[in-house]
Amino acid sequence: MFRSLKSDFAIIKERDPAARGVWEIIFCYPGFQALVMHRISHKLWSYKLPIFPRLISHFTRFLTGVEIHPGARIGKGVFIDHGMGVVIGETSEIGDRCLLYQGVTLGGTGKESGKRHPTLESNVVVGAGAKVLGGICVGTNTRIGAGSVVVKNVDANSTVVGIPGRIVHQSGVKINPLAHSALPDTEANVLRNLMERIDQLENDILNLQNTISNLQIDSSDGEKEERIIGESQSLKDKEIIEFIGNDMNETSI
């Protein structure tokens, strides 16, 4: 247990530039405090003591804002950053060197017995407010974007964003666990592709209309029929730019 606490302490110093000293981490980091108390309650839980482990967990929630069921299994070097609102269910398993931000929930999806909470393998990052639900497995070196809801298994070396969570593979790419700004904007990429396709189709239709109109002029009195559609919509229109941004060179990850 003490080796695990030492690893938890070391990961905070490694990943949080605001951590300036030993006493500051001990007294001012609720995530660290919650893990210390959990490791005690989990040890008592393994001895099948009644009530007391849950009382420790309840007191820890009151003290830190982090609720960890005594039955949850947590590896070494885990960092719960800020911690307020984090909920970790009874059958959850968290691997070594995982990083959880505030508001994260590792929860169940019903009243089924047995394994009903998620498993996070090593080096998983779960962004603020994300929900990982059910007895699913999240593979190693995976990032879950802030506010995402994950209800299906996730392969290793992936990025998950959205509601429900969608997987964008990043196999073979070294990922900085703190680089949340590097998460892909999949909705914007899809909309951009659709608008480009619509723009192309509208231009094709206009070209066909012009061709037909010219043929009709050649074979009639020179009167031109009205076009079926107006000018094609441009991706530079203000409403579109405000929604998807102006970075036309952005590519999907």
Tokens encoding 47: 């001895």
Specify which residues 168 forms β-bridges with: 159
The span from the CA of 182 to the CA of 168, in Å, is 12
Q: What integer pLDDT is reported at residue 252 of this predicted model?
A: 43
Q: What is the mean pLDDT of residues 15-27?
A: 80
pTM (whole model) above 0.85: no
How many helical (H) and strand (E) elements, i.e. helices and strands, does the chain have? 6, 15
Architecture of the domain spanning 2-180: 3 Solenoid (2.160)
Give the whole-number percent of the chain exceeding pLDDT 90.
28
The DSSP line for 71-125 is T-EE-SS-EESS-TT-EE-TT-EE-TT-EE-TT-EEE-SSS--SS-S-EE-TT-E
SS3 of residue 161 by DSSP: strand
| pLDDT tens digits, 174-229 | 555 555 555 555 666 667 777 778 888 888 888 888 888 777 776 665 555 555 55
| pLDDT tens digits, 123-174 | 999 999 999 999 999 999 899 988 889 988 988 888 888 888 777 655 555 5
Q: What is the mean pLDDT of residues 12-38?
A: 84
Least confident of 4-18, 121-135, 238-252: 238-252
The span from the CA of 120 to the CA of 138, in Å, is 5
